[in-house]
Amino acid sequence: MKQEEINEQGRRDFLKTAAIATIAATACGSLACSCSSKKAATGDKVKLLSPEGEIVEIDSSYLNHQEHMAIVSKLEAREGIAGKKFVMVVDLARCKNARKCISACQKWHYRPEETEWLTVKLLKDSDKAAPYWFPKQCFHCDNPPCVKVCPVDATFKRQDGLVLIDNNRCIGCKFCMAACPYSTRVFNWDEPELSLDIRDLAYNPETGIPAKVGTVEKCDFCPDRAREGLLPPCVEACPNGVFYFGDENEDAVCNGEETVSFTQLIKDKGGYRYMEELGTKPRVYYLPPKDRQFPVERGYEDLDSNLKKRFESVMEPDKQKD
């Protein structure tokens, strides 16, 4: 499809979702906080396409900026952002399991506490090796085993490198979950609890909101934010600048504090991809935990007991044996 057509389609879809969101908001007041505060009419009229396909004119004061609103068409969400090749670099030397990335991710994606799209593991590669914290999100592989096995094209690889899921298409066979060697994907086993402000949002694979029971979901590298030039919340929230996110084509990655050359960073710090031998070609690179900024215990001592249990077998192997 030609670019203009995509844009045209995108514009229409945008207008449509905007109209739906606004009309829903004004009519039934489901977005309680955003529309209860009555604004004075500005006099500016905006033309919108109603769900019935009619052009309606409403006052611009009724329009609210809504986060997580689908700003692209389904088709564009499948194609990806032209010219981009997203990449992430995780500096293991900087991680102290502060878990700010997790909470930011959970908050942004409205995830319940238990299901984490982004997790931090405590890895210990061999008996004598030193343990290290290992943040892990979706690797957005260039040869994704999950995409290969999806029977309905619900999970797909985009030209900008992202692997996304369309939860309107997903039949919930979980084949992708069995196929992902990194156990990245999570399933909505029960009806997800959705807060009022996202319940009625128009779904788009780029936002992943709202979640649906019986479908698969995972870390999406926040493409809706990338479109607006924003970093993913995990990158922003990290107090130590562990995550660098950027564009391989531009050869620039940013951790919120500094923007550096991707190739230089990988070259200088010995970047590698996790389990390269599987041939999945991840788009996430790791920098080895050399010259660490924090002792590994720093991420363990202050955890609450339930979280501590996760890492007990690595941190206190003797205790486990008893």
Partner 1 sequence: MELNSYQQKAFQHQRPFLEKFGKLNWLLTFFFLVWIAGGAYALYLQIAKGHGVTGMRDNVVWGLFIVNFIFFIGLSYAGAIIAGVLHLLKVPWGKPFIRLAQMMTIISVIVGPIFILLCVGRFDRLHHLFIYPRIQSPMTWDVMAVVTFFAGAVLFLYLALIKDLAVYRDAGLKGPKWRQKLYKFFALGYRGGASQKRHLIISQNLMAIIMIPLSIIVASILSWIFGMTLRPGWHSTIFGPYFVLGALYSGTGVLIVAMWYYRRSHKLDQYLTDQIFRYMGYAMMVLAAAYGYFTFSEYFTGWFGSEKWDSELIHKLFSPGEYGWWTLFANLAGIVFPILVVAIPATRKTNWITAAALIMVLAMWVKRYLIIVPTLESTLLPMQDTRTEYVKYSATWPEWLLTGAGLASFFLFFLLMSKFVTIVPVSGLEETDHTHKHVKAPELSNTTKEDIQPA
Residues that bind partner 1 (CB under 8 A): 114-115, 119, 121-123, 136, 145, 148-154, 169-175, 177-179, 181-183, 185-191, 213-216, 275, 278, 280, 306-307, 309-311, 314
Nearer to partner 1, 83 or 279 (CB): 279
Q: Which is nearer to partner 1, 13 or 217 (CB)?
A: 217
- Give me the residues paired with residue 216 across strands: 187
Q: How far is the CB of 259 from partner 1 (least distance, A)?
A: 30
Q: How far is CA 291 from CA 91, 94, 195, 294, in A?
A: 11, 9, 43, 9
Cα 79 to Cα 7, 185, 221, 223, distances in angstroms:
12, 21, 15, 12
Q: Is 94 helix (H, G, I), strand (E, B) or coil?
A: helix
* 14 vs 286 by CB, closer to partner 1: 286
Q: Rank residues 14 and 182 by Cβ distance to partner 1 and give the closer one.
A: 182
Closest distance of CB 305 from partner 1, Å: 10
Q: How far is the CB of 95 from partner 1 (least distance, A)?
A: 15
Question: Which of 121, 227 has the CB closer to partner 1?
Answer: 121
Of residues 188 and 204, the one with the C-beta less far from partner 1? 188
DSSP letters, 252-306, are EEE-SS-EEEHHHHHHHHT-B-TTGGG----SEEEE---S-SS-TTHHHHTS-HH
Please list, in sequence order, all residues whose beta carbon lies within 8 angstroms of the beta carbon of residue 72, skipping any fewer than 6 positions away.
Answer: 10, 13, 14, 204, 206, 227
Least separation, in Å, of the C-beta of 64 and partner 1?
32
Q: Please give the backbone phi and psi of residue 283, each rounded to the nearest 5 degrees, phi first.
A: -100, 10
Residue identified by tokens 């040869």 is: 143
For the record, the structure tokens of 298 come out as 């720093």
Closest distance to partner 1 from the beta carbon of 131 (Å)? 11
Nearer to partner 1, 102 or 150 (CB): 150
What's the rounded Cα separation, in Å, for the pair 111 and 198? Answer: 12
Q: Which CB sits closer to partner 1, 43 or 151?
A: 151
Q: 15 vs 149, which CB is nearer to partner 1?
A: 149
Report d(CA 96, CA 251) in Å as an integer.
Answer: 27
- Which pairing describes strands 243-247 and 119-123: parallel, antiparallel, or unpaired? unpaired
Smallest separation, CB 314 to partner 1 (Å): 8
Distance of CA 196 to the CA centre of its chain: 21
User: What's the closest the beta carbon of residue 153 comes to partner 1, in angstroms?
Assistant: 5
Beta strand 259-261 with 163-165 is unpaired
Phi, psi at 164, each rounded to 5°: -120, 170
Any idea of the CA torsion for 276, 230, 101, 81, to the nearest 10 degrees? Answer: -30
Give least dist CB 111 to partner 1, A.
Answer: 13
CB of 136 to partner 1, least distance (A): 7
